[in-house]
Amino acid sequence: MGMVGCGTAQGAARFQYRRGEEYGPHGDTHLRAVKQFEPEALIEGFDEASDRLLSTIASETSFRRPVTAAIDITTIPYYGDVEEMPMVSGMQGEEKRAFKFATISIVGENIPLVLAVEPIRESSAWDRNPPNQVHRVVRRLVTRAKEHVPVETVLCDREFDSKRVYQTLSNLGVNYLVPTRINSTEREVIETMDADGQEVAVESASVHVESGSHSMQFLYVPSTSGEGTTVFATNLRVGPEEAESFCRRYSRRWQIENEYKSLKNDFLAKTSSKDYRVRLFYFVFAVLLYNIWRLTDFLLKAGVDGEMEYAPVLTAGECVEIIVSALIPPD
């Protein structure tokens, strides 16, 4: 926690300031200890911690169940050699390489919490990794999320526009709402809509893959940007008269972008380490701190019968100070 906004050496100095010079670990000692954690053990530990946190609000009626959840992928830039770095993925644009992490989070009119974290390993020009099977990432995230809370609907971005993802979500017994890429088939429908003066259309379809099949729909609605048409895929039965209002649910995903900003700016320890174990530990620990912050804020609001607004009344910095005070034993 002392390394947020600074490196290992400054973090150790902050710790010594609070706990005493004779107790503070050297930066190298800290990193050596972090590297002892196996990636699988970190993910399992996060799941156990999440279950304990959620158990504290099991009786809170203001915590709505089942939940709407959003899946997304965030990146941590990587600068350095790529040899022997199987978890570093190639990127487009200015960020040439990065570590990738997928998360599933509660969104909507509810307490925003990250329910599960999944490292992403993608095939790149410098390694022999198999192509990433995104539907398997989705399966692992949703399966672990459902161990904590009942999940009703899952929102994904276009990166998850895949028949395998649709069928995976259907097999898991959850509803989905995913914007799709505009290909030739979609363009033909949009051209017909324009010719007929339609703003909304619903097309029924079926998904058929090796893992099963199900009925679904493509919803053509006006873009929220005010220009053009956006196409969504869903396994719910939605009529043309309600398609536009139903697709507005997708706007709840904006919360996950704020979530990533808080994770990286308020809780993620900075490091120049190239070791994947260190990067994974810092990301998982940052997510855990974020969850503690949002949970504490939720309990504060519930304790004073306040409205459960998204904006927190407790700042991230205040929460970190409280946690630090609780972790350091009194003299």
Helix H, strand E, coil C: the string for 171-192 is: HCCCEEEEECCCCHHHHHHHHH
Confidence at residue 137, expressed as pLDDT on a 0 to 100 scale: 93
Q: What are phi and psi of 215, to 5 degrees?
A: -85, 145
Assigned token pair, 86: 């199987």
Give the mean pLDDT of 166-181.
Answer: 97
pLDDT at position 166 over 90: yes
pLDDT per residue over 186-222, tens digit each?
A: 999 999 999 999 999 999 999 999 999 999 999 999 9
pLDDT at position 125 over 70: no
pLDDT at position 131 over 70: no
Confidence at residue 97, expressed as pLDDT on a 0 to 100 scale: 81
Confidence at residue 31, expressed as pLDDT on a 0 to 100 scale: 85
Give the mean pLDDT of 1-10.
Answer: 72
Model confidence band, residue 98 (pLDDT cutoffs 50, 70, 90)? confident
Sign for the pseudo-dihedral over CA of 194, 195, 200, 206: negative
Confidence at residue 325, expressed as pLDDT on a 0 to 100 scale: 78
Confidence at residue 27, expressed as pLDDT on a 0 to 100 scale: 73
pLDDT per residue over 153-162, tens digit each?
A: 999 999 999 9
Give a yes or no: residue 258 inside a domain.
Answer: yes
pLDDT at position 130 over 70: no
End-to-end CA distance of the chain: 21
Give a yes or no: residue 28 inside a domain.
Answer: no
The Cα–Cα gap between 87 and 83 comes to 11
* 59 or 167, greater pLDDT: 167
Sign for the pseudo-dihedral over CA of 97, 98, 102, 103: negative
Question: Residue 137 is part of a domain; what is its CATH number?
Answer: 3.90.350
Residue 30, C-beta contacts closer than 8 angstroms, at least 6 positions apart: 8, 11, 12
Q: What are phi and psi of 128, to 5 degrees?
A: -115, 25
Give a yes or no: residue 59 inside a domain.
Answer: yes
pLDDT at position 132 over 90: no
Surface-to-core class of residue 176, CB atoms within 10 Å of its CB (0-12 exposed, 13-18 middle, 19+ buried): buried
Confidence at residue 4, expressed as pLDDT on a 0 to 100 scale: 78
Confidence at residue 219, expressed as pLDDT on a 0 to 100 scale: 97
The count of domains in the chain is 1
Assigned token pair, 10: 């400054």
Could you identify the residue written with the tokens 């099991």?
58
* Percentage of the chain exceeding pLDDT 90: 58
Assigned token pair, 295: 């949970």
pLDDT at position 20 over 80: no
Confidence at residue 272, expressed as pLDDT on a 0 to 100 scale: 81
Mean pLDDT of the chain: 87
Helix H, strand E, coil C: the string for the chain is: CCCECCCHHHHHHHHHHHHCCCCCCCHHHHHHHHCCCCHHHHHHHHHHHHHHHHHCCCCCCCCCCCEEEEEEEEEEECCCCCCCCCCEEECCCCCCEEEEEEEEEEECCCCCCEEEEEEECCCCCCCCCCCCCHHHHHHHHHHHHHCCCCEEEEEECHHHCCHHHHHHHHHCCCEEEEECCCCHHHHHHHHHHHHHCCCCEEEEEEEEECCEEEEEEEEEEECCCCCCEEEEEECCCCCHHHHHHHHHHHHHHHHHHHHHHHHHHHHCECCCCCCHHHHHHHHHHHHHHHHHHHHHHHHHHHHCCCCCCCCCCCCHHHHHHHHHHHHCCCC
Surface-to-core class of residue 289, CB atoms within 10 Å of its CB (0-12 exposed, 13-18 middle, 19+ buried): buried
Give the mean pLDDT of 93-118.
Answer: 88
Q: Which residues constitute the domain of residue 183? A: 35-327
* 126 or 77, greater pLDDT: 77
Confidence at residue 9, expressed as pLDDT on a 0 to 100 scale: 67
pLDDT per residue over 233-272, tens digit each?
A: 999 999 999 999 999 999 988 889 999 999 999 999 888 8
Confidence at residue 94, expressed as pLDDT on a 0 to 100 scale: 53
The Cα–Cα gap between 182 and 167 comes to 20
What's the whole-model pTM score?
0.90
Model confidence band, residue 3 (pLDDT cutoffs 50, 70, 90)? confident
Give a yes or no: residue 14 inside a domain.
Answer: no
- Which residues share a beta bridge with 220? 201, 231
Give a yes or no: residue 67 inside a domain.
Answer: yes
Counting Cα atoms < 13 Å in the Cβ hemisphere of 197 gives: 0
Confidence at residue 93, expressed as pLDDT on a 0 to 100 scale: 56
Residue 41, C-beta contacts closer than 8 angstroms, at least 6 positions apart: none
Give a yes or no: residue 2 inside a domain.
Answer: no
* 266 or 29, greater pLDDT: 266
Model confidence band, residue 127 (pLDDT cutoffs 50, 70, 90)? low
